[in-house]
Amino acid sequence: MESMSRICIDARFWGIKHTGIGRYVENLIDNLPGEVVLIVHPELKNEPKLARFKKYYAKSHPYSYLAQFEMLGLLLKINPDLLHVPHFTIPVLWWGKMVVTIHDLIKHLSKGPATTTRHPFIYWAKYLQYLLIVWFAVHRADHIIVPAHYWKDIIVKKYQLNGSKVSVTYEGVSSVFSKTSKPQIQNPKSQFLIYAGNLYPHKNIPLLITAVEKIKILLKIICARNIFESRLPKSEHVSYLGRLSDQEMMTEYGKAQAFVFPSLIEGFGLPGLEAMAAGLPVIAARASCLPEIYGDAALYFNPYDVNDLIEKIKSVISDVNLQKSLIQRGQRQVKKYSWAKMARQTWEIYQNCLK
């Protein structure tokens, strides 16, 4: 059956330019144990990592109405036995077998004009479309993949699904972040904290800025998309580094005191695991799926209590033994996650759907 069946992956979001989803798609395709056909954007025509795959090209933006017709045309050409859409952007006109990855329901939980740069009228119109397409994707899919049990429970309950329709496949950490040398305990003179991720309201960055202002310690923020930067409190203790390559991130991680992740809602929380792999102590919000993913390897704080965060930051930067313990636990925790394992589990899901 494996060799006979034609499996197609919608890879329009391939690559780290598309942040978490892009990283997921790239690592899934890199590690799959069998043959697949890809639908990609034309700019990936000469991407060396995709050279071995048969590719079809979709020009339209994945969220546009035009993309729906373009995808239908391509799928009629490809005629796959199974389509995997790694986001809720499913081709609603396609009737074939489909696996859908729903990374989170963050937009369900964090909503309103504060979460967008669009005019409220346009935002609410788009928001209703989003709710509709997620509802449709969840009911239309033959199988759903999520990155954490936290999200499986929410989706099963919210959409009244049979639990067997939803599988959890934990994500992995790129080997670029694996620290080979022994953890360094930083010179207090070069003290700074680091955060990587976007700046949407649910990331809870104002709380972190308030904390660093009170402690008078530098915070470096790595963020590819900085559209919300202007809405954050101004502070001389905050430095925005923009988008960095994985290698440049490793350089910053090598000098930082700790990685702080104050997020209220996360799909998986990959940045914290990458920081652990790089040998950094991690301070994280006790919220969403983070305790499930980080286990005992992070120092948790109440994400609504700035004093609790201040206390946790002070204890990490002043206590060398705590730093060492968090670094060791982080290195252990990261070993539980692997993109190769995730790809194998995904391949098994494909095969079960094809039976």
Q: 135 and 248, same structural domain?
A: no
**Integer Cα distance of 350 and 49 in angstroms:** 22
The pLDDT value recorded for residue 113 is 85
Do residue 302 and residue 241 come from a single domain? Answer: yes
Q: Is the dihedral of CA 226, 230, 232, 238 positive or negative?
A: positive
Q: What confidence score (pLDDT) does residue 9 get?
A: 98
- For residues 206 and 238, state if they share a domain: yes
State the chain's mean pLDDT as an integer: 92
Structure tokens at 133: 């397409």
Within the chain, residue ranges assigned H as helices are: 19-31, 65-78, 106-109, 120-140, 149-158, 205-215, 246-255, 270-277, 290-294, 306-318, 320-334, 339-354
Please check whether residues 210 and 162 belong to one and the same domain.
no
> Model's pTM, two decimal places?
0.92
At 280-332, the pLDDT tens digits run 999 999 999 999 999 999 999 999 999 999 999 999 999 999 999 999 999 99
Note the pLDDT tens digit of each residue in 68-93: 999 999 999 999 999 999 999 999 99
Residue 138 has pLDDT above 70, yes or no: yes
Do 104 and 181 reside in the same domain of the chain? no
The neighbour count for residue 182, using CB atoms within 10 Å, is 8
In a domain, 184, yes or no: yes
| Total domains present in the chain | 2
Question: Based on the domain organization, do 187 and 53 belong to the same domain?
Answer: no
CATH number at residue 301: 3.40.50.2000
Most confident of 16-30, 105-119, 190-204, 320-334: 320-334
Which pLDDT score is estimated for 18? 77
Task: Tell whether 1 is covered by a domain.
Answer: no
Query: 78 with 104, same domain?
Result: yes
Q: Verify that 156 and 73 share a domain, yes or no.
A: yes
* Residue 12: domain span: 7-172+338-354
Residue 308 counted as domain residue: yes
Question: pLDDT grade, residue 187 (50/70/90)?
Answer: low
Confidence bin at 189 (pLDDT 50/70/90):
very low
Helix (H, G, I), strand (E, B) or coil at 62: coil
In this structure, the answer to whether residues 260 and 304 fall within a common structural domain is yes
Say yes or no: 330 and 183 in one domain: yes
Q: How far is CA 118 from CA 77, 112, 122, 207, 216, in A?
A: 36, 10, 6, 24, 34
